[in-house]
Structures are given as structure tokens and as C-alpha cells.
């Protein structure tokens, strides 16, 4: 799907917003001559020594404010960080995510994790927000939620991902949009809804938005006050919040959106929700509705076994000289079990920081079940498992 950026969100010539002297300076800092003069460290390593928010290529962000969403709740804590990126930030499309790098106290290396952007689509250099839920096993999320303070500097990637809003009031192509989310999966959908409302969507042209969200409890509900205000406004957005035992079922969806399989749908949430929704969107011939877009939190398949047949074969990590029998777990997990420490981010297959080259052999994508025996293929080792003998450049 080709995503359309709302015309109001990103100017045709982003650089035109900068003063002439700044544009000239940026051109010099990003020139080949400057790159040659600052080899091997690069110009950004020198700029960072003068000021952490000076950058020609890298993206960093200063935390402007921290809003803790549920400080008095027993639910997992959630915080919204407002970030001011460096001028190297190119903006984002609603629904995209960003890789956040932090140096934790006592850690000798930078840890990187992926978080969805919760604010509306941004132009280059504009502020963005990240709404992060702390997870017990998540070092980065727990640190940011509990320790983030205004003035702290974070390392960012440029915005990534194709789970994006392809609709704006300037480009009306559909009469109904549907957002199906669970837990923290609400954040990219909120970015999309906020973008629509900011850019003039009001539902008065016969178009409609349905927002169906599932949370463990009312205390776990993110953006509760804002969603209540959206639901009460005359804006064409129907909000339906389900808590606790109110799990997804096709009958309710059919009542809310009778023609849901032919409705542009964005689905984001935990594996259980994704499985139920994809079943509902699959017809009798096993064909998944093409208008369903999905973002995963974790692989839906735990092993690469087909039916009752166990995986056999050997996984060879060529550069390290190590190998292990294929066991059906992800190649990242197998590498870590051997003591290797490959770079990785989200462990969900969306950030691409764990991409490695498969030199030979057969692998299986844990998200789609698709197998491939192509040589010299780029694969994401966090969501790929061996389906036989294979050799990885690691």
C-alpha cells in the first residue's frame, strides 16, 4: 500500500522553513568534503561535543515534558514523552514508529527499542510524542516511564514503518475507516485519528470512522479522557471501548461495521487479538481481506514446525564459526543462546535493526509462515526461524 502524507502535515519543500544561513550551514555540514575531513568519526560526533542537539545526519531529541498517564493506578505505568528532535528529523507519517536509543545507568552499551509515535503526522523538526507503557521485561520502556525527565537527550532513528494512514481530508477515497486496537496498540491509531481531526475531518461528507479498542481494565485504558471527548464531539468518529472480559468477537464487529471485510481497517495489538481479527477477516477460501493492515507486537507463531513435523537441520553462524541444531525458535534467540549479541530492537519484526544476510538454506517467517530458500537474502532474525539447514552471516 502506498501511504499518502496529508498535504497539511509536510511542506513540499521542508528546507524552505529554515533561514538561508542555516540552510547553507546544513549543506556544508552534510557535504562530502566535511565527511572526508571528519573521517572516521563523522561530523555528528564532533557537533555533539559542542551541543547535544546539533546534528547533520543523526537524529537526537530533547525531552520537553513528561506526562504520566496513570500515576495513581495499579495498572502498568504509562508515560507520554514530548520530544523536540534535532533539525535532522524528517518528520513522520501517522502510524509510523521510531527507534529510541538510551544508555542505561551501569550499562556499557546503548539499548534500542521501537515505539510508535502517538502525536499527529509531523513536519521536519517538529515536536512529537511517544506514549510508552512500562513492561516488566522491558528495560528501556521501564527506564523511560520511571526515569525520563525534561532535558534528557535520546537517540532516535528517522520514522519507520508502512502501517500508516493512507487517508486525509485532502484525499478522500473511502467512506469508512476502522481502527481495531488492543493495549498499547492504540498509540499508532491515535496518531492517525489525531491527524484526521487536526486536518479537518468532521464526518459531514458522509464519511465515518469507527474506533474499537480493547484494554485489560478501565485503569489500563490509555487516552481515556481524550477518547471520551472525541466520542462526545460531533466529528463522525464512533469510539467503542471494551474492558476486562469483553474480548473481540466477530458478531459485535459485524453489528458495528456490517461490511467490515470491505472496510479499510488498521489492526494493532497483542497476538491473541490479531489472531481473532485475522480469522474474522479471512473468507471461506482462506483469503485474507486485502483492506486489513496489521502491526504486530510479537510473532504469532512460536515455532517453525509444520503441523506435527519437527524442524530438522543445522543453523550455522558463519562469521562466529558457531552452529546449533534448528529448534524452531527465532534465529535471534538461537544466536543469543550461543552467546552472540547481534544488534536488535523491537523483537517484533518492525524495526529492521536485526536484519542479516542468509547466505544459504531455508528459513521461515514466523509472522507469515512463508518459507524461502533464496541465497544471499536479507532476513529479520527476530521473526525468522530455520526450516532446515541454513547459514547466517553473523
The C-alpha angle 21, 25, 27, rounded to 5 degrees, equals 120
Residue 77 pLDDT > 80: yes
Decide: residue 242, CB within 10 A, 0-12 exposed, 13-18 middle, 19+ buried: middle
pLDDT tens column, 198-237: 998 887 767 789 999 999 999 889 999 999 999 999 899 9
Containing 96, the helix (H) or strand (E) segment is none
pLDDT, position 146: 92
First to last CA, the chain: 32
- Rounded Cα distance, 214 and 277, in Å: 12
> How high is the mean pLDDT of the chain?
81
Residue 393 pLDDT > 80: yes
pLDDT, position 30: 57
- Model confidence band, residue 114 (pLDDT cutoffs 50, 70, 90): confident
- Rounded Cα distance, 238 and 248, in Å: 17
- In sequence order, the 6+-apart residues with CB closer than 8 A to the CB of 6 are 94, 121, 165, 168, 169, 170, 171, 195, 199
Strands (E), 14-96: 59-68, 78-85
Query: What is the average pLDDT across 141-149?
Result: 93
Determine contact, residues 69/131, Cβ cutoff 8 Å: yes
Strands (E), 189-258: 208-215, 237-243
153 beta partners: 62
Residue 34 pLDDT > 50: no
Residue 90 pLDDT > 60: yes
Phi and psi (nearest 5°) for 32? -65, -35
Give the torsion through C-alpha atoms of 370, 166, 101, 328, to 10 deg.
-10
Cell numbers found for residue 12: 513540499
pLDDT, position 53: 54
Three-class secondary structure of residue 382 per DSSP: helix
pLDDT tens column, 255-313: 999 999 999 999 999 888 998 999 999 999 989 999 999 987 654 444 444 444 567 88
From its phi and psi, is residue 12 left (phi > 0), alpha (psi between -120 and 50) or beta?
alpha
Three-class secondary structure of residue 5 per DSSP: coil
pLDDT tens column, 307-347: 445 678 899 998 888 999 998 889 999 998 999 888 877 77
pTM of full prediction above 0.75: no
The position carrying cell 529448534 is 327
Do β-strands 264-269 and 292-296 pair in parallel, antiparallel, or remain unpaired? Answer: parallel
Buried-exposed string 103-133: b where 16+ CB fall within 10 A, e elsewhere: eeeeeeeebbbbbbbbbbbbbbbbebbbbbb
Cell numbers found for residue 372: 524461502
Amino acid at each position: 500500500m502506498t501511504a499518502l502524507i496529508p498535504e497539511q502535515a509536510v511542506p513540499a519543500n521542508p528546507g524552505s522553513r529554515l533561514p538561508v544561513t542555516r540552510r547553507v550551514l546544513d549543506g556544508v555540514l552534510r557535504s562530502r568534503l566535511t565527511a572526508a575531513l571528519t573521517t572516521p568519526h563523522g561530523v555528528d560526533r564532533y557537533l555533539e561535543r559542542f551541543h547535544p542537539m546539533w546534528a547533520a545526519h543523526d537524529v537526537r531529541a530533547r525531552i520537553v515534558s513528561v506526562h504520566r498517564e496513570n500515576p495513581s493506578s495499579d495498572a502498568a505505568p504509562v508515560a507520554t514523552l514530548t520530544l523536540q528532535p534535532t533539525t535532522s528529523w524528517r518528520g513522520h507519517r501517522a502510524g509510523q514508529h521510531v527507534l529510541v536509543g538510551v544508555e542505561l545507568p551501569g550499562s556499557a552499551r546503548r539499548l534500542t527499542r521501537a515505539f510508535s509515535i502517538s502525536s499527529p503526522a509531523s513536519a521536519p523538526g517538529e515536536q512529537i510524542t511517544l506514549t510508552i507503557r512500562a513492561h516488566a521485561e522491558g528495560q528501556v520502556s521501564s527506564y523511560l516511564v520511571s526515569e525520563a525527565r525534561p532535558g534528557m537527550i535520546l537517540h532516535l532513528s528517522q520514522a519507520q514503518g508502512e502501517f500508516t494512514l493512507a487517508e486525509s481530508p485532502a484525499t478522500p477515497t473511502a467512506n469508512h475507516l476502522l481502527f481495531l486496537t488492543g493495549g498499547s496498540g492504540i498509540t499508532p491509531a491515535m496518531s492517525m485519528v489525531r491527524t484526521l481531526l487536526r486536518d479537518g475531518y468532521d464526518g459531514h461528507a458522509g464519511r465515518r470512522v469507527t474506533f474499537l479498542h480493547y484494554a485489560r481494565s478501565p485503569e489500563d485504558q490509555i487516552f481515556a479522557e481524550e477518547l471520551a471527548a472525541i466520542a462526545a464531539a460531533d466529528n463522525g468518529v464512533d469510539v467503542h471501548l471494551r474492558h476486562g472480559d469483553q474480548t473481540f468477537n466477530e458478531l459485535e464487529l459485524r453489528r458495528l461495521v456490517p461490511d467490515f471485510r470491505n472496510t479499510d481497517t488498521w489492526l494493532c495489538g497483542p497476538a491473541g487479538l490479531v489472531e481473532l481479527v485475522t480469522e474474522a477477516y479471512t473468507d471461506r477460501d482462506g483469503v485474507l481481506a486485502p483492506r486489513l493492515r496489521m502491526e504486530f507486537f510479537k510473532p504469532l507463531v512460536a515455532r517453525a514446525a509444520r503441523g506435527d513435523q519437527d524442524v530438522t537441520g543445522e543453523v550455522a553462524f558463519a562469521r562466529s564459526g558457531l552452529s546449533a541444531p534448528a529448534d524452531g525458535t527465532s534465529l535471534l534467540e538461537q544466536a543469543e543462546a550461543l552467546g552472540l549479541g547481534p544488534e536488535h530492537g523491537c523483537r517484533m519484526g518492525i524495526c529492521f535493526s536485526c536484519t542479516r544476510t542468509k547466505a544459504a538454506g531455508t528459513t521461515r517467517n514466523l509472522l507469515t509462515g512463508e518459507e524461502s530458500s533464496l541465497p544471499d537474502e536479507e532476513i529479520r532474525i527476530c521473526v525468522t526461524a530455520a526450516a532446515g539447514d541454513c547459514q547466517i552471516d553473523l
